[in-house]
Amino acid sequence: MSISRAFDMIFFGGTGDLAIRKLLPALYYRFRDTPDPAGWRIIGCARTELTRDGYVDLVSENCRRFIPGEDFDEGTWQRFTHHIEYLTIDALSGEGFDELAERLRHSQDRVRVFYLSTASSLYAPICEGLSRVSAVTGLSRVVLEKPLGHDLSSSDAINEAVGRIFEEHAIFRIDHYLGKETVQNLMALRFGNSIFEPLWNRSNVEQVQITLAEQVGVEGRGDYYEHSGALRDMVQSHLLQLLCILAMEPPTSIDPDAIRDEKLKVLKVLRPFTPESVRTDIVRGQYRSGAIEGKVAPGYLEEEGIAENSRNETFVAIKARLDNWRWSGVPFYLRTGKRMQERLSEIVVNFREVPHPLLPPPASGGGNRLIIQLQPDESVKLFVMAKIPGDEMKVRPVALDLDFDEAFKTRQWDAYERLLTDVIAGNLTLFMRRDELDAAWRWIDPIHSAWEAQDTAPKTYAAGTWGPTAASALLARDGMNWREEN
């Protein structure tokens, strides 16, 4: 799908890591595959004093590192950069908004996207600045990166401020995990195939695991991470969104609000945590120095921008429960962490064992399971039991592997390609509605409150491992293991 309509894409935080590493390369791919991109205009905005040529040089130097050589075409890139402009804007002082309005004055009839790739504390000043210079039209949209605030109160304040300028249908709260092909394929697998839906319930599913593991540390973002932590940075957004898609009821249609209504229902039936259940069902960790792929990795307290004796968490494992008819009694184990053994994002649906086993169990890792991997490679695998060739009747798990590259023989879109295309088209399906965000914060806030009241330090784990041993014990109490431990 190409982007055929004319638009203005204005990136606030245009010199930042996200814009240069993800957003501009994503637009390059869409530009390359669009037959007539003449109506495109991209304006990078930041406080940095740069000329237009200086910005293009900065973008070109960095984007070449993030676009694979086989996808990079010099002629296409040069044509792409002809559509790029730059403007120095200070969101707090308001300097530069008048010039932005002047540049946009003759494009009132075009889609206008304001992408706020900045700290969420700047969302309100930016939107107020746009309103002051009358830059917001009926065809305008605003994209908000997570996290929106640090709790329900601060999130409400941001949403109220943005909502005074933009109507709800023009606010796109982005979570890039929802743009991944495998996440969308999860919906296709569930709702496009009759074999899965009858199995997708407490009678057939024993437990579910969702893991978002990173090998990197705070990567120079210590100041941000000290005010965020793994719970707010990853659980409140990515993990809960994946849980919603995995557990939601079939929507009545693919209309954006029909899908988002069902996701909201999942958030509403998440069992709230009490101070006691926080102690028993949540593991909070912080990495210490260790080794990753043979290289020494510093501990969290040794990272730049981290407070001495910080108790901020870099790892969280949660046993979550859904109190509804479909999922009652099925534990959902959520896990995320930095400086883990592998970079891995996956969903594992473990089905129940056969009621009366006739065959000897395999030596390891028995049972049917569906594994949806989001990174480093995107894939879907269904493990079934099959006989090992030979005289004896022995079985072991064998994967039925959906290879997207082989099946469709086309390059998979990056998540931001899909999401930017949807923003321009005005498609809200893969974006969070405000009531979804509110419900997520209502579930998260009591966890932080309990941690503060308990005043205990997070459990440490060595960099290059799968987290604190208590995370394994969390499942072991139920007679279960994380997938890599089987």
Give the SS3 label for residue 344.
strand
The secondary structure of residue 335, as a DSSP letter, is: E
Give the integer Cα–Cα distance in Å for 104 and 250.
Answer: 42
Q: Catalytic: 227?
A: no
83, 169, 238, 448: which one is catalytic?
A: 238
| 361 preceded by a cis bond (ω within 30 of 0) | no
Question: How many residues does this entry show for the chain?
Answer: 486
CA distance 233 to 216: 14
For residue 140, give the 3-state DSSP assignment. strand
Please count the helices (runs of H) and the strands (runs of E) in the chain. Answer: 17, 17
Residue 195: Cβ-neighbour burial (10 angstroms; 0-12, 13-18, 19+):
exposed
User: Under a CB-based contact definition with an 8 Å cutoff, are residues 330 and 297 in contact?
Assistant: no
Which long-range contacts link 256-259 to residues 24+ away (Cβ below 8 Å)? 256/427, 256/428, 256/429, 256/431, 257/428, 257/433, 259/429
Positive or negative, the CA dihedral 306, 310, 316, 322 is negative
- H/E segment holding residue 380: strand 379-387
Where do we find the tokens 């930016």?
126
Q: Which H or E run contains 288?
A: strand 282-288
**DSSP characters over 405-440:** HHHH-SPPPPHHHHHHHHHHHT--TTSB-HHHHHHH
Distance of alpha carbon 123 from alpha carbon 250, whole angstroms: 34
Dihedral of CA 237/238/239/243: which sign? positive
Which positions are annotated as active-site residues?
Answer: 238
